[in-house]
């Protein structure tokens, strides 16, 4: 497995619509495995393929945070939100493409998601808590949307400026 470099905002590839997966292949399974390794290494609780420059509808997640609890690596091809609760939840979100920046985002508290798993089987499941927040954040990545797009323009511009500076500094070394 390979740890892939994660794109940092602003990057045009993070604003594009990702294409659905037509047929599962060993190459796509390898991409999912590389994404899981990249996510655990970061560390993060989710990762979407566009964040490593692949414009494919593929996300990975593991929102198990408790010490000693069994990991739950989750791979979703073509994930779709089928239903969302009226009840909302506010969570302080971060993003591996926007390092060290956090902001409160309000989203549906529960969602029903359908996807194709790593074995090619269709799955449908209800998510709540952090899993619900994370799966919506990751599906947004597939639609070229970042959590800062939910913020007021001034705050979004401030964060974007910080990221431009960070990328300039990283490019010098």
CB-nearer residue toward Zn ion: 24 or 156:
156
> Could you give the count of Cα atoms lying within 13 Å of 155 in the half-sphere of its Cβ?
11
Can you list the alpha helix ranges (DSSP code H) found in 80-142? 129-142
Binding site for ligand K1U (CB under 6 A): 43-48, 65, 91, 93-97, 133-134, 137-138
From residue 85, alpha-carbon distances to 59, 114, 128, 132, 152 in Å are 22, 15, 10, 10, 24
Q: Please state, in angstroms and rounded to a whole number, the distance separating the CA atoms of residues 25 and 28.
A: 5
Partner that binds at residue 140, options Zn ion, ligand K1U, none, CB closer than 5 to 8 Å by kind: none
Q: Token pair for residue 26?
A: 């060993």
Closer Cβ to ligand K1U, 120 or 170, answer by number: 170
Among residue numbers 66 through 85, which ones bind Zn ion (CB under 5 A)? none
- What minimum distance in Å lies between the beta carbon of 51 and ligand K1U? 6
User: Catalytic site residue 138?
Assistant: yes
User: Does position 95 bind Zn ion by CB under 5 A?
Assistant: yes
Considering only the stretches 32-40, 66-74, 90-98, 117-125, report the one whose residues sit in contact with Zn ion under the rule CB under 5 A.
90-98
Q: Does 103 bind Zn ion (CB under 5 A)?
A: no
Span from 14-22, 28-36, 89-97, 101-109 in contact with Zn ion (CB under 5 A): 89-97
Q: How far apart are CA 3 and CA 150, in angstroms?
A: 29
Per-residue tokens: 10: 């602003």
Nearest Cα to 147, choosing from 110, 77, 96, 85? 96
Catalytic option among 80, 93, 138, 169: 138
* Interface positions with Zn ion (CB under 5 A): 95
Q: Show which residues are catalytic.
A: 138
């Amino acid at each position: 497995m390979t740890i892939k470099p994660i794109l940092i905002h602003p990057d045009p590839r993070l604003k594009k619509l990702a294409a659905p997966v037509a047929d599962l292949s060993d190459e796509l399974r390898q991409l999912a495995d590389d994404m899981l390794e990249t996510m655990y290494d970061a560390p993060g609780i989710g990762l979407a393929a566009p964040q490593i420059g692949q414009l494919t509808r593929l996300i990975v997640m593991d929102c198990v945070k408790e010490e000693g609890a069994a990991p739950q690596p989750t791979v979703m091809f073509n994930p779709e939100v089928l239903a969302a609760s009226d009840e909302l939840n506010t969570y302080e979100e971060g993003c591996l493409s926007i390092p060290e920046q956090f902001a409160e985002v309000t989203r549906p508290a529960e969602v029903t998601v359908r996807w194709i798993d790593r074995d090619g089987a269709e799955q449908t499941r209800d998510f709540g808590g952090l899993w619900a927040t994370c799966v919506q954040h990751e599906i947004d990545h597939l639609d070229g949307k970042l959590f800062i797009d939910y913020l007021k323009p001034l705050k979004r511009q401030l964060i974007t400026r910080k990221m431009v500076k960070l990328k300039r500094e990283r490019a010098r070394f």
